[in-house]
Amino acid sequence: MDIAVLAYDGVFDSGLAALLDVLDGANAMRGELPQPPPAWRVTTVGFRRRVRTGAGHVVTTAPVAEAEGADLLLVPALAERRPDALIAHVSGPGSAATRRLVAETRARRTPVASACTGTFLLAESGVLDGRRATTSWWLAPVFRKRYPAVTVDETRMVVPSDGVTTAGAAFGHVDLALAVVRMTSPALADLVARYLVIDERPSQASYTISAALAQSDPTVAAFERWARLHLDEPIAMTDAARALGVSERTLQRVVRRTLGTSPVRFVQDLRVERASHLLRTTDLPLEVIARKVGYEHANTLRILLRERTGATAGALRKR
């Protein structure tokens, strides 16, 4: 497989390096398998001979025209975490060539992939319309608002969808590169992960900070504050809406539009967040923690923790 990795001015250094390092490691470790897969030919391409990364390092690239013959185009993230600046960059003239490259690559039915803020470049080019995608969990509300034609799933670390693969925040580049290797050889992907000491991270859920997501809308932020004060009680959405001075229908609509989920599920996320914190920082029995986050039975919390974090209560306590 020929893989083109795009380097451009302002690219996220660790994202670019992670993609290259994992793929280089996979090539180096192929021989350890009884039936090694074919090697990957990886070329770093750019619109100029030398590009400057977000941290100011200079990367030498091959002409971007070499991406035309590639079997996969990888677009690392942009080194920008401020939502307004990110949108201005990916939609501005400085990214026009990248957007055009991504669109033309998909027009040839060549797969493309990106992670973190790079998913905004893919969305801005139009190749994510009608598809499922993920992005940095903390940018999901911004992404969802700007690209309503894309179905956002920020709980997953890697989301493939009809020739376009996206991955989560920052070091989701590692997961993305492993996913590329796994497409050809699951055994080699597992071997690379063990050598590089990479834990399996199927979900971003355990990293999400609910309060950060809620700040994207004043009504959602107020709901989050109110819900935290009542986590140890049964919560009725009618009571929440009345306390906020809005209708229950408005609360449902605003939370869904901002977070892509229901108010009930968001309250569950808050309960999981607090329960996980208590498991890591106290010796309280799970039964006591369950009552502190509004559940009468510990088994209800146990199931929810496993569903949302991918880990058992015992594993969370060990962390």
> What are 107-123's pLDDT values in tens digits?
999 999 999 999 999 99
pLDDT for res 205: 66
pLDDT tier for residue 206 given thresholds of 50, 70 and 90: low
Closest CA to 181 of 9, 22, 2: 22
pLDDT tier for residue 257 given thresholds of 50, 70 and 90: confident
Cα dihedral 40→45→50→51 (10° resolution): -100
Mean pLDDT is lowest, of 13-17, 37-41, 75-79, 258-262, for 258-262
CA distance 61 to 80: 22
> What are 164-173's pLDDT values in tens digits?
999 998 899 9
> What are 122-170's pLDDT values in tens digits?
999 999 999 999 999 889 999 999 999 999 987 789 999 999 999 998 8
Look up the pTM and report it: 0.78
Average pLDDT, the chain: 93
Cα dihedral 157→161→163→165 (10° resolution): -10
